[in-house]
Amino acid sequence: MSLIAPSILNSDFLTLGRTIEMLNESEADWVHLDVMDGSFVPNISIGIPIVEAVKRVSRKFLDTHLMIVNPEKYVEPFRNAGADLINIHYEACRDKDIKAIFKQIRDTGAIPAVAINPDTPVEDIFDLAEYVDMILVMSVFPGFGGQKFIETTYDRVAALRKFIDENSLKTMIQVDGGVSPENAVKLKAVGVDVMVVGSFIFRSAEPLKTIYELKSLVS
């Protein structure tokens, strides 16, 4: 069974409270919050006050995807805002001690995770798998919702799955970007544990029903 983590990035922020209440009632396992700084990615999205507001209403596990430079500066603020999992980008930490940041995240009580972009060789992060609870293999270039799924993701996930299994690790694999019923079954088959789904849910006529259908597909 794979978990479904709706990304609210493409939802209507004017009615965010109602969206979070809908997600509470839904089959969604987590809520995925996309934090963008206009520097690591060419877009600015939500920040700490929004995570705090979501936390006040949400009964789901909050998965925060930090697409920001210098993530170590914001670990405690996001944890205090209510993040259950804090995911930092490998590419934002090339000149940093990333394992120290994973420990910093764990010390706050949050779960550490690492994300990699589609053009970073997946083998680059194999050595980090034992230090995090989850690896996010991006299936679009981060920055915007509604992009087309990149097909090479299947092979990248399969290679990572093989490494994790061969080394008897428990690291979860997440995929984010362009996920829909068209690719969800195959993603589950190659070993994805958590699927982030944004626009497919929030552009549908009945998001609650769409989540239910997606969940049935990967159960």
> Active-site residue numbers?
34, 176
* Exposure string over 56-92, b if 16+ CB within 10 A, otherwise e: eebebbbbbbbbbeebbebbeebbebbbbbbbbbbbb
With respect to ligand DX5, which residue has the nearer C-beta, 35 or 105? 35
Determine phi and psi for 137, rounding to 5 degrees: -95, 105
The span of 50-58, 94-102, 166-174, 177-185 binding ligand DX5 (CB under 6 A) equals: 177-185
If one asks whether residue 193 binds Zn ion (CB under 5 A), the answer comes out as: no
Query: Which listed option, Zn ion, ligand DX5, none, makes contact with residue 9 (CB within 5 to 8 Å by class)?
Result: ligand DX5
Q: What is the dihedral of CA 136, 140, 141, 146, to 10 degrees?
A: -120
- Specify which residues 33 forms β-bridges with: 64
CA distance 10 to 144: 9
Query: 60, 65, 89, 156: which one contacts Zn ion (CB under 5 A)?
Result: 65
Mask of contacts with Zn ion, 96-135, x by CB under 5 A?
A: ----------------------------------------
With respect to ligand DX5, which residue has the nearer C-beta, 177 or 207? 177
Query: What type of residue is 191?
Result: G
What's the min distance (Å) between Cβ of 153 and ligand DX5? Answer: 12
CA distance 97 to 48: 24
Q: Which residues bind Zn ion (CB under 5 A)?
A: 34, 65, 176
Q: Which residues bind ligand DX5 (CB under 6 A)?
A: 7, 9-10, 32, 34, 65, 140, 142-147, 176-179, 196-200
